[in-house]
Amino acid sequence: MMSATASLDELIADFEELEEPIERLAHLEEIGRNLTPMPENLRTEENRVLGCQSMVWLVAKQRGSKPPILEFQAYSDAPIVRGEIAVLLAAYSGKTPQEILDFPIEELIARLKLRSFLTPLRSNGLYSMVKRIQALAAERASKSKVQSPTPKVRSQESGVSGQKSEVSTQKSEAGGDEVEQVGLLSAALRDDFPILSTVLEDGQPLVYFDNAASAQRPKRVIASIVEAYQHYYSNVHRGGHALAVESTTRYEKARETIRHLLNARSNDEVLFTAGATAAINLVARSWGDTNCRKGDEILLTQMEHHSNIVPWQQLAERTGCTIKWLPLTDGYELDLDALDGLLSERTKLVAFTAISNVLGTINPVKMIVEKAHAAGAKVLVDAAQHVPHETTDVQAWDADFVALSGHKLMGPSGVGVLYGRRELLEAMPPFLGGGSMIKTVTLDGFTPADLPYKFEAGTPMIVPAIGLGVATEYLLGIGLARIQAHELALTRCAHELLAEIPGVRILGPAPEKKGGIVSFVVDGIHADDVSRVLDLKGIAVRAGHHCAMPLHKRYGVDASCRASFYLYNTLEEVERLATALGQAKKVFQRE
């Protein structure tokens, strides 16, 4: 057997001779027992690697300067962890900072077949050590003026650092005849959604137009939920057994898939929450309570969902800050001419929706973010209606926070995501306390965990998050450009047909300026009554204020009906809506 100071080639050759996982585990422990101990004077808190369950200390020494060569020394109180340290020392010691940053550590771990038994508990520590080594390398590279990328460790399932994710976007532009394209898209997908074959009372086939509230789930998402509970469910990150490893792997793979969907810089910027509402409340409680004081201002818009109003009103009650409102035009858009006058040095945050859940209005996110940042304000974007329907790029937006819900993009309910800019999340205190969000706890206090776990206290929404990852893969496989084109054709059709019905007023701009949402009112008939008649025809729409009471007040209505489309809806269903709406008018004899 090799010694702990063997070369990397010797280490690889030795591990490749071992067939059984238990043999590799024993060999790793043997290497660890032979690791040269670190002097006691170096085992300080300053040199301790946080994020490891055992005690781990690591230091770097430099030889030369153009470019420098780094030698690492590390030790742990656990033999297996010392074995991991021996692997990392063989991989990284004796290299320049740039070589360290470029080294494909994921490939090495896979080649040594260590991941088959590296539990989430141990692998978290391993990756914490890798991060520490890369951070030290980046620091030395900067000092020696060597150009190098920001150190980055991808999640276990995202491949070698620097490589593209295996998740394929498969985006395609919708071309040719628009109506034909819509038919092809929906016909190919409808069989994936079992609920769409539902036949209601009186033999009415279901038409589901309540997608802005919650979308339906394809078979593969449903199957992933059943599979998790039947075959590998376990708590994540802490268990050392096979089920815990599988659950953690799937859970973290979902995080990587969502990172890819949003084009976030790192998995550490993707936090799982209980929904978009919980995500916004997290920012209001953690960032808001820390940064807002009396005299400060929060800028909202009149088209916001209550989830992006009430948390800020509660913040104002707690801190004494003031809320200002960006008004709406008669054309159902934000009054952007008023934006500059509302922004000032007192503005701490601008929070607004990317797409209105009532009007469907698509807002110029990037432009608003630029103006807010120029005034020194942070920005939160409610993207619950945007992410499932249009390409979302948080880096292009340059937003500080982005909230979304899982159930609106074909995932399970009870799960959502908060994207946050890394430097902001690191500076924010944890919102909830308990298990999973700590590194250490003593009788005197606690040290919070690294991102993203710092904000994921307790047992997380394991299976919903896994299901959301599968839904995201499904969405990316279809392509957001195709979905957007499909919904635009449906929206145009709905506008044309509803405009022909006397007394029907559509709330929202032209189809080209909105998402797949068509809210409307009918003269003399309450929205709830209209929805009940449509329901008798098998058509599910939403009636009420849609959690946007200030918006409805702005346009002089108490409630509206909302038909909202998604990738599985058809032009025939839109035509059924128009026909049924005409019949509803006759029922109430208002023509």
pLDDT digits (tens, 9 = 90+) for 548-582: 999 999 999 999 999 999 999 999 999 999 999 99
CA separation (Å) from 204 to 64, 540, 576?
A: 79, 11, 11
CATH of 8-143, one of 3.90.1010.10, 3.90.190.20, 3.40.50.2300, 3.30.2270.10: 3.90.1010.10
The whole-number pLDDT of residue 155 equals 35
- In whole angstroms, give the CA distance from residue 473 to residue 411: 11
List the strands of the sheet with 378-382, edge to edge. 270-273, 416-420, 401-405, 378-382, 347-353, 297-301, 322-326
Which residues, other chains included, contact 202 with Cβ-Cβ below 8 Å and sequence gap of 6+? 536
The whole-number pLDDT of residue 124 equals 54
Quick: pLDDT tens for 273-319. 999 999 999 999 999 999 999 999 999 999 999 999 999 999 999 99
Choice among 3-12, 69-78, 234-243, 315-324 with the minimum mean pLDDT: 3-12
Task: Report helix, strand or coil for 458.
Answer: coil
Is it the case that residue 429 has pLDDT exceeding 70?
yes
Which residues, other chains included, contact 85 with Cβ-Cβ below 8 Å and sequence gap of 6+? 32, 35, 56, 58, 74, 75, 76, 129
Q: Most distant CA pair in the chain: distance in Å?
A: 91
Domain boundaries 201-208+480-587, corresponding CATH code: 3.90.1150.10
Q: How would you label 262-301 residue by residue, b for 16+ Cβ within 10 Å and e otherwise? A: bebbebbbbbbbbbbbbbbbbbbbbbbeebbeeebbbbbb
Active site residues: 547
Mean per-residue pLDDT, 245-268: 94
Domain boundaries 271-458, corresponding CATH code: 3.40.640.10
Angle at 382 between CA 376 and CA 388, to 5 degrees: 135
- In whole angstroms, give the CA distance from residue 574 to residue 566: 12
- In whole angstroms, give the CA distance from residue 291 to residue 230: 45
Is it the case that residue 230 has pLDDT exceeding 70?
yes
Quick: pLDDT tens for 4-51. 456 888 888 888 888 777 787 788 888 888 889 999 999 887 788 866
Residue pair 296/321 in contact by the 8 Å Cβ criterion: yes
Residue pair 94/69 in contact by the 8 Å Cβ criterion: yes
Percent of the chain with pLDDT over 70: 88
For residues 163 and 118, the model is more confident at: 118
Task: Report helix, strand or coil for 78.
Answer: coil
Residue pair 398/366 in contact by the 8 Å Cβ criterion: yes
Is it the case that residue 220 has pLDDT exceeding 90?
yes
* Beta-bridge partners for 328: 334
The whole-number pLDDT of residue 125 equals 67
452 closest CA partner among 286, 282, 270, 277: 270
Most confident by average pLDDT, 157-166, 338-347, 454-463: 338-347
Mean per-residue pLDDT, 515-540: 93
Which residues, other chains included, contact 415 with Cβ-Cβ below 8 Å and sequence gap of 6+? 272, 273, 274, 275, 405, 406, 407, 461, 464, 465, 467, 468
CA separation (Å) from 153 to 109, 131, 157, 450, 565?
A: 13, 6, 11, 13, 39
Task: Report helix, strand or coil for 519.
Answer: strand
**Boundaries of every domain in the chain:** 8-143, 201-208+480-587, 271-458
Query: pTM for the whole thing?
Result: 0.78
